[in-house]
Structure 1
Amino acid sequence: MAHASKNRSEKVDDPSIPVTLLTGFLGAGKTTLLNQLLAVSTSEPTAVIVNEFGEVGLDHDLIEKVDGDVMLMSSGCLCCSIRGDLSDTFVKLLARRDEGMHNFGRIVIETTGLADPGPILQTLLVDPFLARNTRMDGVVTVVDAVNGPATLDAQFEAVSQVAVADLIVLTKTDLVSEASDKAVTERLRGLNPTADIVRPSDRDFGPKSLRNLTSMRENARQQDAISWTTPKVANDPLGNLSGLMSTSNTKPVTTSEFRRHDTDISSVSIVLDEALHDAVFDKWFDTLIAYKGRDILRVKGILFLEGIESPFAFHGVQHVFDPPVPLKNWTGKDRRTRIVLIGRNLNRPEIQRSLDMLRNARPADAKSLTKCR
């Protein structure tokens, strides 16, 4: 299993910049949402990284001045375009902050509508500079209630954007019927059962709604960590005792003749009551990722290990994983390990056998576990 730099997890005080990835297909409303958020005065200035200013359509009434490839917004936020690769843009942006030229406490990356968020997430994990200086705070995916179903039918990138999201923002719901709103919501739930689904019209929706969307921080609240790994759909409590059934029984609602990409995507939730030996877990998980890594879009979880009081939060994209983060604020008797995998064709017998291997193996046998086939 490939991991990002471990420097961050060794620090007591985490100075890394939280990063929000804002994605969504063409016309979903990412730029409208971004403009709304930039127009709100906030105590935490934000740097926004976009592909090109001309493609984004930012509200120029919000622009105070232009400084090379950086624009200063009237709200105090910054907006810069990617010149070269993403890492170079981060280096220049953080250098400006360190030199006192600009001040910001978080970064938002707005992707193009056709972008697969996976490579960007991997870049943040494996690039040494970014791994030391940033942390992924959440993936926000914007979905258009009007055109979203047809887009999901036609474009796998749109399905991938939904599948990896921590928060889904459903736009243009005022332009569809209540039945259509419900249908697209259920479809999104089927693709990503653990993501919250909100609407810009919600009373409590605002800039804070896009923050602290993952539990990859030591001060994460226990309630938020559990919610992060728990499907939002009520299931039959006796219908998934193994924890390996797909978390969605919703049949995709299609609006076109395109092949429904939903049928390729499933979410597998695993819940284990007892703490795990670290060697057994590492071997099982390394085997799973080696065998299914290309099919896994994202994995996240809360892990309890034998002999360690606090659980660890972890997440990864395909075969690349951030160092686990200890959750220092955990209290109470709930010591269940929760793992959520989202990807292509994951509800297979191989996963059942790999879980049986984990449950039945003794710690001393961890090194001898063979690859699941």
Structure 2
Amino acid sequence: MSAAPSDRRPPPPIPVTILTGFLGAGKTTVLNRLLRDPALARSVVLINEFGEIGLDHLFVEKIDGDMVMMASGCLCCTLRGDLIDTLENLLRRLDNGRIPPFDRLVIETTGLADPAPILHTLMGHPYLLLRFRLDGLVTVLDAINGAATLETHPESLRQAAMADLLVFSKIDLIRSDEEKRAFARLLERLERINAGARRLDDPKLLDANHLLGLGLYNPETKATDVARWLNVEALAVATHGHGHHSEHESHDHDINRHGDSIRAFVLVGEKPLSPSSCDLFLEILRNAHGPNLLRVKGIIALTDDPSRPLVIHGVQHVFHPPTRLDAWPDADHRTRIVFIVHNTSPQFVQGLYDAFAGDLGIDRPDAQALTESPLTPARGGLLA
């Protein structure tokens, strides 16, 4: 007997890894290495152009004009046209049995690409949200020329700032003192803009294990892993040299307060938000600073059910539908949100949260001014 329509559930979302890196960073070498990893045999790889991707000896058969089957079992196709159309066509092929089942999607961007639109597509499209889940953004950086590239190309800076994993290429080619100083400058800048990202110093060691579990979902435990995903401790160490500090401590050594217009910081909320305050807090941030919110990841304490925190993930003005966890992942029940921002004041963001956590009532003048400001969101917020 066939299952009733109400019993039919969509398959588990397919994890998606985005591979990016500026022109000449070594992204092609990294992708070639990954394509030979047996753990990625049941994968689909979307690339902009075949170019120098070493697939010739891996071809087995043509599936259609855009897709080939490789000896490893991977499916590889050129990324043409609108990404939504590409992904929907891929799912139709899968559902119709025209291609074998796959358990991971890797999207390789062009060297000049801003990763944000791809993240927007995966986080904001209702159907794609059901079928795919973002597992991580991997950025390849040239160890020798990376510092200069970050200085002169905003695309490279955004690729590095938004990454979950930073892979350094050409470290083995560093010889001169100047090249060593350039790599040191690169590391110093990355500490300012994205200290929470994991790092891999030798791309020769890169395998599928480095790509798995970069997102909120841990494939090994089949559960959420908030602490690993947020990596707040790494950001705290980079910012202050240790995991805690006094409110009155001097900020002379806070590397996130100097130099870059892009910075990373952690918002910590001692008091929970009401669901409506949380909704308005996120909407005001999105409407006031949307283009400048390069990445927002966090866990939020709510007053309606303090034992079940809310997980949020946003890129600029697009936020993934929030998720309520069944329990806190650790003994710390405070709100913790990691921000990577461009030209946005941490003091403003923290102050906004604290105002809403202080039960700012809508009948009070300051709250009334806030809700009537041009930053007010349309009805139907993130938690509606």
After TM superposition, is the score higher than 0.5? Answer: yes
- Letter of the 1:140 partner, please give it: V
Equivalent positions of 1:34-53 (< 5 A) are: 34-42=31-39, 45-53=42-50
Q: How much has 1:297 moved relative to structure 2?
A: 1.3
Identity of aligned pairs, percent? 37
- Letter of the 1:76 partner, please give it: G
Q: How much has 1:59 moved relative to structure 2?
A: 3.7
Change (3 A) 1:331 1:109: closer
CA contact (8 A) 1:24 1:30 kept: yes
**Which structure carries more relative contact order (alpha carbon 8 Å, separation 6+)?**
1
Gaps of 5+ in 2: 1-7, 376-384
Q: How much has 1:352 moved relative to structure 2?
A: 4.6
Normalising by structure 1, report the TM-score.
Answer: 0.83
Cα distance in 1, alignment partners of residues 275 and 361 from structure 2 = 8
Q: How much has 1:310 moved relative to structure 2?
A: 2.6
Change (3 A) 1:327 1:182: farther
Equivalent positions of 1:154-165 (< 5 A) are: 154-165=152-163
Secondary structure of the equivalent of 2:80?
coil
Cα distance in 1, alignment partners of residues 11 and 254 from structure 2 = 36
CA contact (8 A) 1:22 1:139 kept: yes
User: Partner of 1:303 in structure 2?
Assistant: 300
Cα distance in 1, alignment partners of residues 248 and 77 from structure 2 = 48
CA contact (8 A) 2:273 2:301 kept: yes
- Residues 144-174 of structure 1 show CA distances to partners (whole Å, capped at 9, x for unaligned) of 1011111111100000101111111111111
- Letter of the 1:151 partner, please give it: T
Cα distance in 2, alignment partners of residues 193 and 365 from structure 1 = 41
Change (3 A) 1:251 1:291: closer
User: Partner of 2:62 in structure 1?
Assistant: 66
CA contact (8 A) 1:312 1:326 kept: yes
Cα distance in 2, alignment partners of residues 233 and 348 from structure 1 = 16
1:220 counterpart = 2:224: yes
Secondary structure of the equivalent of 2:260?
helix
Higher Rg of the two aligned structures: 2
Change (3 A) 1:102 1:311: same
Change (3 A) 1:279 1:108: same
Moved more, 79-88 or 324-333: 324-333
Change (3 A) 1:183 1:89: same
User: Partner of 1:7 in structure 2?
Assistant: none
CA contact (8 A) 1:140 1:168 kept: yes
Normalising by structure 2, report the TM-score.
Answer: 0.81
- Letter of the 1:107 partner, please give it: L
- Letter of the 1:165 partner, please give it: A
Cα distance in 1, alignment partners of residues 363 and 278 from structure 2 = 12
User: Partner of 1:259 in structure 2?
Assistant: none
1:170 counterpart = 2:137: no
- Residues 253-306 of structure 1 show CA distances to partners (whole Å, capped at 9, x for unaligned) of xxxxxxxxx622112310123332222222222112211112211211111212
Cα distance in 2, alignment partners of residues 93 and 238 from structure 1 = 47
Secondary structure of the equivalent of 2:266?
strand
Secondary structure of the equivalent of 2:296?
strand
Gaps of 5+ in 1: 1-10, 253-261
Change (3 A) 1:234 1:297: closer
Cα distance in 1, alignment partners of residues 41 and 309 from structure 2 = 30
User: Partner of 1:200 in structure 2?
Assistant: 202
Change (3 A) 1:270 1:304: same
User: Partner of 2:5 in structure 1?
Assistant: none
Moved more, 130-139 or 331-340: 331-340
Equivalent of 1:293, from 269, 290, 301? Answer: 290
RMSD: 3.2
Q: How much has 1:364 moved relative to structure 2?
A: 6.9
Equivalent of 1:233, from 232, 238, 242? Answer: 238
